[in-house]
Amino acid sequence: MRRIGLLRLSRGCRKISPACYWPKRDTIKKNLNVARENYVTRENYVDAGRAGVSQRVFLRHARSRVAEYRNGAAAVTSNAREMIMTSNSQTDSETVIVAETGLGKYQVEARMGDAALLIDEPQAAGGLGSGPNPYELLSAALGACTTMTIRLYANRKAWPLERVRTAVRHSRASLQAPDRFELDIALDGSLDAVQRARLMEIAERCPVHLTLARGSDVHATLMPGAGAMRPIDSTAHMDCMREACAD
């Protein structure tokens, strides 16, 4: 999600619009900190308007999220903290937090590290169309990992690869049928046939490709109480890409 402009949330701001009016001078610093913590963007406001959400309801929802994020660290229970630390130490991988925004039927916000993005369904499916759907994210992850792994290998070999482009198509006959991913990869640059063939081999060794091809164990755990959750960064993906390119 590209943050185009942060909404300034304040009682000193009587009118809110996509143009983002400024609050009174003595509340600017406070509101900037609130906006950064809340990740409320211009797109959020526009989506709320499309869904028929009033400004008053939108601001009340946004302020409640600000309070939630500010108090999240203090609200973490000992059990929840232990689960987070245990999960991180066992998997040694990223933790992504996904939560409903309260806007539209399906819109959720995903937080990973210092970044955030909206995930939704298209308007034709009853959503706001404010972000990619989960399957599109899965295809994007495969395409991104493939492109990045090829780039890492080409840079290590000092090959004249100018640009990598990947198109990903995902399909499945039914919920129980196996998924199919098809990739079209364009390699721009003065590469010979041997180099191109080797880069295509490396593409099939990218970490996300291997994750999808060999399957995964997925487990869900009910969190005790209302413990807070926090995103956790790691270098697991980069470590796997380096391993794939090690030769």
Domain boundaries, the chain: 25-125, 134-216
Determine the average pLDDT of the residues in 108-127. 93
Per-residue pLDDT, averaged over 86-105, amounts to 73
Q: Are 38 and 66 in contact (CB under 8 A)?
A: yes
d(CA 68, CA 235) in angstroms, rounded, equals 28
SS3 category, 133: coil
Of 143, 244, 160, nearest in space to 196 by CA: 160
The answer, yes or no, to whether residue 120 has pLDDT greater than 80, is yes
Nearest alpha carbon to residue 47 among 123, 100, 116 = 123
pTM: 0.63
Q: Quick one: what percent of the chain has pLDDT higher than 70?
A: 61
Rounded-to-integer distance, Cα 22 and Cα 178, Å: 52
Residue 150 has a pLDDT of: 97
Which pLDDT score is estimated for 7? 38
Compute CA 235 distance to the chain's CA centroid, rounded to the nearest angstrom. 16
pLDDT value of residue 113: 84
119 bridge partner residues? 108
Specify which residues 164 forms β-bridges with.
187
The candidate with the shortest Cα–Cα distance to 104, out of 126, 131, 82, is: 126
pLDDT band at residue 145 under the 50/70/90 scheme: very high
Average pLDDT score over residue span 23-49: 48
- 143 CB-contact burial (10 Å; exposed 0-12 / middle 13-18 / buried 19+): buried
Whole-angstrom distance, CA of residue 194 vs CA of residue 29: 57
Q: What pLDDT sits at residue 225?
A: 66
Residue 184 has pLDDT above 80, yes or no: yes
Which of 1-5, 35-39, 182-186 has the weakest average pLDDT? Answer: 1-5
Angle at 1 between CA 181 and CA 27, to 5 degrees: 165
Q: Which CATH superfamily is domain 134-216 in?
A: K homology (KH) domain (3.30.300.20)
- Strands, sheet with 108-112, edge to edge from the N-terminal-most edge strand: 97-100, 108-112, 115-119
DSSP string, 30-61: HHHHHHHHHT-BHHHHHHHHHTT--HHHHHHH
Terminal CA-CA length for the chain? 36
- DSSP state letter for 95: B
